[in-house]
Amino acid sequence: MKERDFTVSGMSCTACAARVEKAARSVSGVQEAHVNLVTGVLHVVCEGEAGAQEIIRAVEGYGYGAQEKRQTAREERRDGKRGWCVAASVGLLIPLVILHHMQSAEWVQAALAVEIALLNFGFFTRGIRTLAQRDPGMDALVAMGSGVALADGLAHLVMGLGGSVFLESAGMILTFVSVGKWLEARATRRAGRAVEKLNRLLPETATVLRDGGQVSVPTAQLQPGDCLLVRPGDRIPADGLVLEGISAADESTLTGESMPVEKRVGADVYAGSVNLHGTLRVRVTQPQEQSALSGVIRLVSNAAAQKAPVARLADRVARVFVPGVLVTACVTAGVWLACGAAWDTAVARAVAVLVVSCPCALGLATPVAIMVGAGKGAEWGILFRSGEALEAAGRASCVALDKTGTLTAGSPQVTDVRPRGCTREELLDVAVTLERDTNHPLARAVVACGRQPKGEARAVQYLPGRGVRGVIGEKPCAIGNAALMRESGVEVQEEREWADRGKTVLYVARGRDWLGSVAVADVARENASAAVRRLTEDGLRTVMITGDQAVTARAIAAAVGVQEVYASSMPQDKERLVRELQSRGERVAMVGDGVNDAPALTRADVGIAIETGTDIAVESAGIILMRSDPMDIPRALSLSRAILSKIRQNLFWAFFYNVLMIPLAAGVFYPAFGWVLHPALAAAAMGLSSLCVVTNALRLRHFRA
């Protein structure tokens, strides 16, 4: 299977996106096709035999432009041409309106109106094709509205019937819609700037070491095994492994973490991060398209392409909306004619209905909000895999938390040292001397706590489940649990208060003398209690589900403020507990980082994985937290709620706009209030509605959690 991206031009609403997806899926070998209406990108998953040209021809058959997404220069040229057409349309419209109000030079008016139509001929080509395929959309409405107005005006002029009112209306409709689409496109591009910024993080070229020299190579051509030279201040062009040098890297673009990360020989480095100090030699380990940064870009870009459930209502409405508008326009013209109105008046009402009803705002309501919100999340190191995950997070009522690696650091640390008849330094010297050649997690915690000892341990024995014995100087020494002390003939007083708080107690002895005790535990992360408190304040129920023993689990829960604890849970138990919570009516967000969390992450309404966790946990989750900060959990959920709120607002205003404007355009309010909507004003109102929806979504860029 291959994945391909295509830049599609001419799309303006959900119906357009649906037609492009339908066209792509009609090509043999294409398995999936998703359109991101915000970025104008068609993402296709296909078998090897599905060629790019076949997909492009299929999309072009529906009246849209398509090309493989490679060069941005061509896109920029297309955007420049669109801007020139808009400016020319406005320039021609001004004298057209002036001449219309002067009621003079009607043939000049006709020439100006026709020229505007030719500049915006794309509306007609796409509209006619979609009508021919019995799948009309926004372009069909604009084409029919402006086309009827233009044809009627020309007919009046050619046949000498007098009055060319619709020549001016045709020009205004096309110009206003064109200006609205151009402004909308500019605003929508602002929504996708997070992706553009991420794309710009990769340098265009990299310095590769070959045959004893340095060669400048395009970043896209780097392959695993290439040796790179990365100087201070340079962006690292590819994921790789440090072969030589010492430096620090700014990885904030990937993790959201502002503190530099030290890089030595053997350390991993990531594309897009900045080498701060020393010169590094790096061996490339991943091609560009498989780098961590490319993964982030794909997640942010595809979040809006994968429709959220809340958007399905808009899709269902859009499917029947345009045919319904065409029928409404015909009925409107018929009713006005039946009531004795003039032909010009009936046509004006029908044209206004056609133009004002374009469902652009409805189509943009969801994807723009998701794109802006997903980009904002990426700035914080919060990645949404899909619109479904984003919506589920926004609706969550219960947060189930794993303990180890999520609320805690995931590795033991020395929390207490209690000497008995010696100094703290002497106690730790003995403990570190015995443990420094042992790879046990408890041993690593002890070694990290003490200083570098002066002596050496001989005849060291690792005793599984009990501890370590050895000889320091001429004295036998030991560190371990109470059972080991009894075996060694050392009398100790058990540290019950430490054990009751879920800590592992290590006793240290020299000869038959008890030197003291060391407590080791996996402690709560710095912001864990603040994160749980924030979740509770937001009205969310918090539950801890952990495979650890009950004593330890209750101790951590008490420390961070979680009220409900399920301990000693196997992976299948975690999944069952999530199901039980869901059966009680809870919408569950499960947070975890290990293989044992994967079933629960998949079962939950939305899984939230810590990026530093295992690959299977990350792949099972809908949201990925690039940092190990527990505060990112309430941040992700609050951002999801804000995005969901913006989607609802946009959908409400899009529906409300059509409910209000269609009757106004049809003249429903004319008998009672004398209100009618000029076709040109209908075009302006349609463009304004789309712009308002996009602008409302852009407010998410200033969201603060």
Tell me the catalytic residues: 402
The token pair that represents 596 in the structure block: 């044992």
Coil, strand or helix at 586: coil
User: 319, exposed or middle or buried, with CB in 10 Å at 0-12, 13-18, 19+?
Assistant: middle
Q: Say which residues have a Cβ less than 8 Å from residue 430's Cβ, sequence separation at least 6.
A: 472, 477, 479, 508, 510, 515
Contacts 24+ apart (CB under 8 A), 50-58: 50/2, 52/4, 52/6, 54/27, 54/28, 55/4, 55/6, 55/24, 55/27, 55/30, 56/6, 58/23, 58/24, 58/26, 58/27
Contacts 24+ apart (CB under 8 A), 262-267: 266/241, 266/242, 267/241, 267/242
Coil, strand or helix at 523: coil
The token pair that represents 201 in the structure block: 């993080």
> Alpha helices of 165-306 — where are they, by DSSP H?
165-191, 193-199, 252-255, 292-303
Q: Give the span between the Cα atoms of 4 and 32, in whole angstroms.
A: 11
Q: Give the span between the Cα atoms of 178 and 686, in whole angstroms.
A: 11
634, 619 in Cβ contact below 8 A?
no
261: DSSP letter? E
Q: Say which residues have a Cβ less than 8 Å from residue 496's Cβ, sequence separation at least 6.
A: none
- Burial track 487-525 (b if 16+ CB lie within 10 A, e otherwise): ebebebeebeebeebbbbbbbbbbeeebbbbbbbbbbbb
In sign, the C-alpha dihedral spanning 431, 433, 434, 438 is: positive
Q: Give the span between the Cα atoms of 638 and 538, in whole angstroms.
A: 8
Q: Say which residues have a Cβ less than 8 Å from residue 121's Cβ, sequence separation at least 6.
A: none
Written as one string, the DSSP assignment of 437-493 is T---HHHHHHHHHS---SS-EEEEEEETTTEEEEEETTEEEEEE-HHHHHHTT----
